[in-house]
Amino acid sequence: MSNQEDSIFNTVKSTLDFFNNQISTIKTSYVTLASAQTISGVKTFTGGMVIRGGDEGIAVNSDDSYLELCGGSEYSTGAWLNLYGSENANEGAFKLAACDGTNTVRLVGSADGSLTWGGNDLVLVTGAQTISGVKTFTSGIVVSPGGNSIVTSTDSSFVEICAGTDNTHGAFIELYGDEYATASTLGAFRIGASDGTNTKRLIGLPDGTLTWDGNPVVVDHNGYTVSGSIYCANPSDPDEDSTMVATTSWVQDLVSSSNQLVIDSGRREVWTVSTASASGDAITLPNSMSYVVGSNRLLVVVNGVVLMPTYNYTEVGSSGDTATTITMLMPLSVGDEVMAWTVPVCASGSGLSSIESRLSALESVITDLSTESF
């Protein structure tokens, strides 16, 4: 090989070595299209970043690390998302944050199923959860049928529902568990009426006690309650529902300490005959009104005239039965005004034998019903 050939060879070799070195530099300093590379330093993309296909997408090279995506220059200057590896201290959780540079609120989801917003547990659609703190609902609460409806977590607690801000500013209901701490309210209910100044409670106990504003409530055989005062029909004004004839203290004085008073406030129904009936026809008292056969307590008035039992009508059934019909021994015409009344009773537990003795026990507070007019 001549000197000239050696020179050309050396020149070409040097050129090839130079380009090989440049190619190696390019491979280690620039991102290639296909080969695997490790990129160090912060890379700023002025255009969008598109990731296509693949199983990993964007991934870190260790399960104890995390991936952070920031909307600002860092996590304190804008919204951000942190995704943690399964071996990270946050154990595979995610954190999605809203941040304006001053305030940061995080939505945190953990692999154990917990989900919090700003450190507070969120209510899930399904699954059992314990909710603390006062929750204000601007719309109604609907409980679907079935299940346990609304219950407390223990039998030693109680549920309170208030129409106002508390039980002194509106009507309320209190339902107590059978293991509540106060013996007087074990398994009891309280229904209260309150206008912000006055509060009155209806209290029911499992032993059958029922009180209104601290006073026992008496229930007669018709299911009507007598509390505080005894009422009966006002004979001088049939259109008036009732008039007070005795106070609780008056009745207590009458009974003294015998504790055997039987109270029945009586009942009255007034109606206009719409279908004519003949003598011997049975008529049904309106509105499920009933009376005790043979107790001499049923009074019937037609067009202002007091009817005589046995002569104008008969009671239906055996003595002591509760009946809702009577048999008329006189015809009734369309338009006739009829009143039926079971006379109020105030008597000892042994009972009184006649209507006259009952009226005497009430100290003649009931006026002769023959003055009843329509």
Tokens of 116: 């919090």
Q: How confident is the model at residue 213 (pLDDT cuts 50, 70, 90)?
A: confident
Say if residue 364's pLDDT is above 50: no
Which of 26-30, 92-96, 112-116, 218-222 is predicted least confidently? 218-222
Q: How confident is the model at residue 16 (pLDDT cuts 50, 70, 90)?
A: confident
Tokens of 298: 């049923």
Determine the average pLDDT of the residues in 138-159: 72
Of the candidates 184, 128, 187, the residue with the CA atom closest to the CA atom of residue 156: 187
Residue-level pLDDT at 121: 81
Of the candidates 268, 301, 299, the residue with the CA atom closest to the CA atom of residue 286: 268
Of the candidates 89, 94, 118, the residue with the CA atom closest to the CA atom of residue 106: 118
Q: How far is CA 154 from the centre of its chain?
A: 17
- Pick 349 or 202 by higher pLDDT: 202
- Whole-number Å distance between alpha carbons of 198 and 196: 6
Q: What is the residue extent of each domain of the chain?
A: 66-121, 158-216, 267-342
Q: How confident is the model at residue 264 (pLDDT cuts 50, 70, 90)?
A: low
Determine the average pLDDT of the residues in 230-238: 44
- Pick 362 or 316 by higher pLDDT: 316
Say if residue 278's pLDDT is above 90: yes
Q: How confident is the model at residue 139 (pLDDT cuts 50, 70, 90)?
A: confident
Q: What is the pLDDT of residues 159-202, one digit of tens each?
A: 888 888 888 888 999 898 888 877 677 888 999 999 888 999 99
Residue-level pLDDT at 285: 93
pTM: 0.37
Residue-level pLDDT at 357: 52
Share of the chain above pLDDT 70, in %: 68
- Pick 203 or 244 by higher pLDDT: 203
Tokens of 328: 């008329």
Say if residue 367's pLDDT is above 70: no
Say if residue 222's pLDDT is above 70: no
Q: Are strands 80-84 and 229-232 parallel, antiparallel or unpaired?
A: unpaired
Tokens of 151: 């219950």
Q: Are strands 313-315 and 345-347 parallel, antiparallel or unpaired?
A: unpaired
Chain mean pLDDT for the chain: 74
